[in-house]
Every structure is written in C-alpha cells, then in structure tokens.
Amino acid sequence: MKGYSWRRFFALLRKEWIQVRRDAMTLRIIIAIPIMQLFLFGYAINSDPKNLPTGLLSSDHSKYERTIVAALKNSGYYNIVPLASEAEAEEGLAAGDLLFVIAIPPGFDRAVDRGESPSILVDADATDPSAIGNATAALASLGADLQRDLPAIRQSEPQTPAFQFVVHARYNPEQLTVLNIVPGLICIVLTFSTLFVTTLSITKERERGTMENLLAMPVRPLEVMVAKISPYIVIGYVQVALILIASALFFHLPIRGSIPLLLFALGLFIGANLALGVLFSTISANQMQATQLAQFTLMPSFLLSGFMFPFRGMPLWAQWAGEVFPTTHAMRIVRGMLLKGNGWHEIAPELWPIALFALIVVTIAVRFYRETLD
C-alpha cells in the first residue's frame, strides 16, 4: 500500500466537499461572520469621534487666538476648555481626561504679524490613534482656512504660512492610522473564521462514530488532513475576496501590491490556520476541548500580533511570542502589500515563518493522528 495516494486523497476531498456544501448553515455563517466583523470592527474602530476633550494653554488672550479657537470648535472635533498651567495639562493627558493640549506661545499675534510663522504645539494622546486620527488630520485644513481671516499684509505673501500646528503624538509614536487598521483587521477576521472550521473536523468524525469506519478503510493520516483542509482554503478565498472588496468600497483601502502575490500569501496564511485547527481536532477527545484549545490561541494571536498594540512597543518576550503566530506575519504582509506596495522581496521574510509554522503543525498532527481506536 502506498504511503500517499492521490486517488484516495481525491476520494476524501470529494466527500469533504459534499459535506461542506451540504452544511448550508455553517457555510452561511463562515461567509457572513467575517464580513459582519469587518464592518462591525472597521466602523467601530474607524468611527470619527467628535468633540474630543481639548485643553487650551495660552498666556495672552490674543485676537488671532480667538479666531483659531473658534475655527477649532467649528471643525467639530475639539471641545475646548481653558487650562491654568502646564501641570494641569500633563495631569489631564495622563489621566485620559484630555486627548489634546493646544499651547499657544506668548507673543503669538506679534510673531504672526512679523511673518515669523510661529508654531502652535498640539500634544495628542495617541494611545488610541484612531480616536485622534481625524481630528489631527483636520488641523492641516484649518491652517489654510485661517489664512483668509488674517490681516491684509499677511495675505499678500501666502507662500509662508502665518503659523503652523506642530502635532506631538504622545504615548504611541507609531500612530497607526485607519488604513493601518483595516489590513490588520483582515488578518484578525481570517484567523477567527478559519481556525474554528477545522477545529471540529476530526472530533466531529469521532463523535458521530464515522471515525471507526474511516479508520477501517485504507486511508492515511496525511490524506485525511489535507482533504479536510482543502475545501476551506477555497472558502477562505471567498472570504478574502469579499473582505478585500468590502474594504476597498467602504474603507477606501488601497491595494498597491500585486494581487496574485497577496492571494498567494493569504492562501498560505489560511492554510496555516486550518492546519492548526486540524491539529487541535486531532489531539482533542471531543469538540469542547478542541474549541477551547482554539480559543486559547486566538487571544495571543490577537493581542501579540501588533494589531492591538504597536509590535515594537511590546516587551521583547512578547515580541518573540508574537513572531510564532502566523497572524503576526500575515499582518505585516497585508499592511505592506496594501499600503506600501511591497513585493516578493519585502514579504519573503514574513512568508517563510508562516510556511514553517504550517509544516510543523501538520507534522505534529500526523504524528498524533491515531490509526487505531485505542
């Protein structure tokens, strides 16, 4: 008997495919849930928060200052409260009571009039970058709008701005933007939706009693596993397509890199997750255990992947742990490919850890797969 037979593999594959197709409810769930999650989290994280608490530090209450404060208020992003001291400002930022502190330097009016283009320092709490992203972005256009309200002499020389905002992102210097979040979200959503589908695959055979029959037939462990994974790779691609289209349409996500390369990388990523699911299914006695194992790995791959916290901001041990998970590497690949237009050369260092992970997981699963009922 051959160690691996393609005919047996295709027999198993056909059977799995029919079973997947026939389980309409599960199929609907695994297609719909990721899209729902994308919108839910995408908009939740993307939401455009207004009226952010903002402290104003100013020594002399000048007339330009009043114009600027009025413009900030009108933008809708800033809810401005005057502050007495810098100490109060620090305290407010640290406690999270203030998201911004705007400091207008002494002698601001005079500096503007002299054409010195003075700076207004904006301290921003960037722990939640999406919370301040739009507000910060609004500052740039405010500067241009204010130009018109300035004295006639200043308008004659528009090449030098009357003043400028200098934004200082605090606590989170990496300052992820909305565009950084959606690619990350794609990976998280795919991790969720792929890990669980195969987690139940082998325990299901065991609990339905069909395992005894399958074991009595001349099928080999690797054939069974690859056949269990394959249909979900196809479904995974459907998910990827839907997610990418939705992201492009609703979140205006650019796709700058090569799409075939992106699909290849995501296929590998999905395969790695599915393989992990099969491993859990193999070593568990029942569906409950398998599900718990999957949940146990979801949390760290969610938290340590660089999605929740900037990867380089994490302690070294956490970075090492994070490197193990395919989600971490997939996130870098997807971000790099979508936003920076990265190609093969840039993503290769992130691809092989995913491939290695999948290989190791499948090897362990094959080793633990029992060909007897003992």
Q: Which residue ranges make up the site for other proteins (CB under 8 A)?
A: 1, 5, 7-8, 10-12, 14-15, 18-19, 22-23, 208-213, 215-220, 371-374
Residue 338, C-beta contacts closer than 8 angstroms, at least 6 positions apart: 179, 183, 253, 254, 255, 256, 257, 262
Q: Pick between residue 45 and residue 222 the one whose CB is nearest to other proteins.
A: 222
Q: Pick between residue 29 and residue 360 the one whose CB is nearest to other proteins.
A: 29
Name which of 90, 74, 162 is nearest 123 in CA terms: 90
Q: Pick between residue 60 and residue 212 the one whose CB is nearest to other proteins.
A: 212
Answer for the pair 103, 65: CB distance below 8 angstroms, yes or no: no
Residue 315 tokens read as 């302690």
In the complex, the smallest distance separating the C-beta of residue 216 from other proteins, rounded to whole angstroms, is: 4
Q: Pick between residue 2 and residue 312 the one whose CB is nearest to other proteins.
A: 2
Residue 142, C-beta contacts closer than 8 angstroms, at least 6 positions apart: 68, 71, 72, 75, 165
**Cα dist. 153→62, 65, 106, 243, 372 in Å?**
18, 18, 21, 53, 90
In the complex, the smallest distance separating the C-beta of residue 279 from other proteins, rounded to whole angstroms, is: 22
3-class secondary structure, 16: helix
Q: Which residues of 263-295 are buried (b: 16+ CB within 10 A; e: fewer)?
A: eebbebbbbbbbbbbbbbbbbbeebeebbebbe
Angstrom distance (rounded) from CA 118 to CA 98: 24
In the complex, the smallest distance separating the C-beta of residue 10 from other proteins, rounded to whole angstroms, is: 7
Q: Pick between residue 211 and residue 318 the one whose CB is nearest to other proteins.
A: 211
In the complex, the smallest distance separating the C-beta of residue 336 from other proteins, rounded to whole angstroms, is: 42
Q: Which residue has the tokens 């699963």?
A: 365
Residue 267, C-beta contacts closer than 8 angstroms, at least 6 positions apart: 233, 236, 237
Q: Pick between residue 15 and residue 256 the one whose CB is nearest to other proteins.
A: 15
Q: Pick between residue 157 and residue 374 the one whose CB is nearest to other proteins.
A: 374
In the complex, the smallest distance separating the C-beta of residue 32 from other proteins, rounded to whole angstroms, is: 21
In the complex, the smallest distance separating the C-beta of residue 8 from other proteins, rounded to whole angstroms, is: 5
In the complex, the smallest distance separating the C-beta of residue 26 from other proteins, rounded to whole angstroms, is: 11
Answer for the pair 356, 271: CB distance below 8 angstroms, yes or no: no
> Strands, DSSP E only, in 231-279?
none
Cα end-to-end distance, the chain, whole Å: 23
